Amino acid sequence: MSRSPVGVNHVVLNVRDMDESHRFWTDVVGLKQVGALKPRPEMGKLPRMRFYSGDHDGKLTHHDVALVENPNLPAPPEGGWNPFTAPQAINHVAIAMPDRESWQAKLEELQTKGVKFNMRVNHGVTHSVYINDPNGYGVELLYELPRDMWENDIDAGLNFLELLPTEGPEALKDDLKNAPRFGVAVE
């Protein structure tokens, strides 16, 4: 009996500067470092590699994101990440917040830290903010909307897009009450 995968387990990113990237993934995104690759004589000289986990219902996992230091990477694109013209092989990494309140608090924290919002978007399945890491990768921080709002027409939910302001107090607003529902009869 063959079964489908349950989803993506982790992503590994090449980064130019481990310390700079570590600060981004811990201080900005909020992941916790859970490990680092230790030297192994049988493998020769290895690059620096670190492993990071989000909070999984009060528990850590082996890792959600891993970073491998490669100082020979090209510089990030001028002007930052763009979802349709980014030269990186990975368009973006999406990090889920546990709930709407945590996501809104993260938006405020990012804005306080001066992190540039590349895009603030209400999708039909998530509400999201897109930022970029020091290597030019896009990072989407999101909360998933309740399933009953999109599960009856996932395609319509995926194709819904509402662009929102990226600066000031307007970038922090989130109107869940008036968010559209997909595949549900409107009374």
pLDDT tens digits, residue range 120-138? Answer: 999 999 999 999 999 989 9
Report the percentage of the chain scoring pLDDT > 90: 75
State the DSSP code for 110: H
Q: CA-to-CA distance for 60 and 167, rounded, in angstroms?
A: 33
Question: Where does a domain end: 39, 72, 105?
Answer: 72
- Residue-number span of the structural domain to which 5 is assigned: 1-72
Report pTM. Answer: 0.88
Total domains present in the chain: 2
Q: Is the pLDDT of residue 86 over 60?
A: yes
Q: Is the pLDDT of residue 187 over 60?
A: no
106 and 177, same domain (yes or no): yes
Counting every residue written for the chain, the total comes to 187
Whether 12 and 66 have beta carbons less than 8 Å apart is answered as yes
Supply the pLDDT for residue 46. 85
State the DSSP code for 177: T
What are the tokens at 129? 């903010």
Supply the pLDDT for residue 13. 95
Supply the pLDDT for residue 1. 73
63 and 102, same domain (yes or no): no
Report the percentage of the chain scoring pLDDT > 70: 97
**Which of 98, 100, 77, 102 has the alpha carbon at shortest distance from 87?**
77
